[in-house]
Amino acid sequence: MHGFSALLARDLRLAIRQGMDSGMVVMFFVIAVTLFPLGIGPEPNILARISPGVIWVAALLSSMLSLERLFLNDFEDGSLELIVISPVVLEISVLAKVTAHWLTTGLPLIVVSPVLAIFLNLESSGFAILVASLALGTPTLSLIGGVGAALVLGARRGGVLLSLLILPLFIPVLIFGVSAVDAAVGGYPLQSQFMVLAGLFVLALALCPWATAAAIRQAMA
């Protein structure tokens, strides 16, 4: 556990020291969502209808933004190879870095999402469910994203490649996240959507650290 907490603390400290990354992700999220009313027009009913989808898609794209750098900085300055050959099991180190990524990008997105929901005229009955679905969905995004970030290490134009690899894998999370909010607004039961989201999270938690660690070892060779 000492390795997990040491790496998590370091990544959080770096994020605070550098400051920009989290702020930019949140700004991108806000601006991307703001574009929709400007493009579609200020018709409240239309905005209310599309708001869960818009917020979820914008959250997906925003969390993609900082993914590329998840392992890249450590890869370039030699820290990653020392992490690989440290006595800490690499899967644990991966989990620590992914947790730090979620805390610095996923969590701020969740915090601002209700404000954007008001802005897009989402029914108030959907607010809590929007936050809950993002809270359950974004960790899955960070976990899956970690696999992609490790796979594109050493590739040129890794950022574009990363989006192509990872965005299709985000689709199930998007579908069930949005449909949970839609169900809440429509007054339907939403237990099944949350069970699927929870299932996806558990699956990602069980598989992604191993896949990510394998991809990192591959990048070292």
Partner 1 sequence: MKNFSGKNLACIRGERGVFDNLSFALEPGEMLILSGPNGSGKSSLLRLMAGLLMPAKGALEWNSINIYEDPENHYSRFHYIGHPAALKPTLSVVENLKFWANIRGVPKRDGEQIANGLAAWGISGLANIPVQHLSAGQTKRVALARLLITFAPLWLLDEPATSLDTQAVAVLENLIAHHRQAGGMVVLSTHSDIKAENPAELDLSRFSSAANLAEAL
Residue 123 dihedral angles phi and psi, to the nearest 5°: -55, 140
**Closer residue to partner 1 (CB): 80 or 132:** 80
Which of 24, 46, 88, 169 touches partner 1 by CB under 8 A?
Answer: 88
Name the DSSP letter for residue 67: T
Q: 30 CB contacts (<8 Å, ≥6 apart)?
A: 112, 116
Instruction: Indicate which single residue of 61, 65, 84, 103 sits in contact with partner 1 (rule: CB under 8 A).
Output: 84
Q: Cβ closer to partner 1: 89 or 195?
A: 89
Exactly one of 69, 79, 161, 175 binds partner 1 (CB under 8 A); that residue is: 79
Question: If residue 82 lies in a helix (H) or strand (E), which one and from where to where?
Answer: helix 79-84
Structural tokens at position 78: 């030699």
Nearer to partner 1 by Cβ, of 43 and 77: the residue is 77
Contacts with partner 1: how many residues (CB under 8 A)?
26
Q: Does 3 bind partner 1 (CB under 8 A)?
A: yes
**Residue 157 interacts with partner 1 (CB under 8 A)?**
no
CA 29 to mean position of chain CA atoms:
12
Q: Look at residues 90, 109, 101 and name the one whose alpha carbon lies nearest to residue 210.
A: 90
CA angle 176–181–183, rounded 5-degree value: 90
**Binder to partner 1 among 39, 41, 187, 221 (CB under 8 A)?**
221
Q: Is residue 86 close enough to count as binding partner 1 by CB under 8 A?
A: yes
Footprint of partner 1 on residues 201-220 (CB under 8 A)? 220
Assess contact for 70 and 149: CB atoms under 8 A. Answer: yes
Query: Contact, 66 vs 105, CB < 8 A?
Result: yes
Q: Does 24 bind partner 1 (CB under 8 A)?
A: no
Q: Which of 31, 35, 85, 164 binds partner 1 (CB under 8 A)?
A: 85
Taking the alpha carbons at both ends of the chain, their separation in whole angstroms is 27
Site residues (vs partner 1, CB under 8 A): 2-3, 5-7, 9-10, 13-14, 17-18, 76-79, 81-89, 220-221
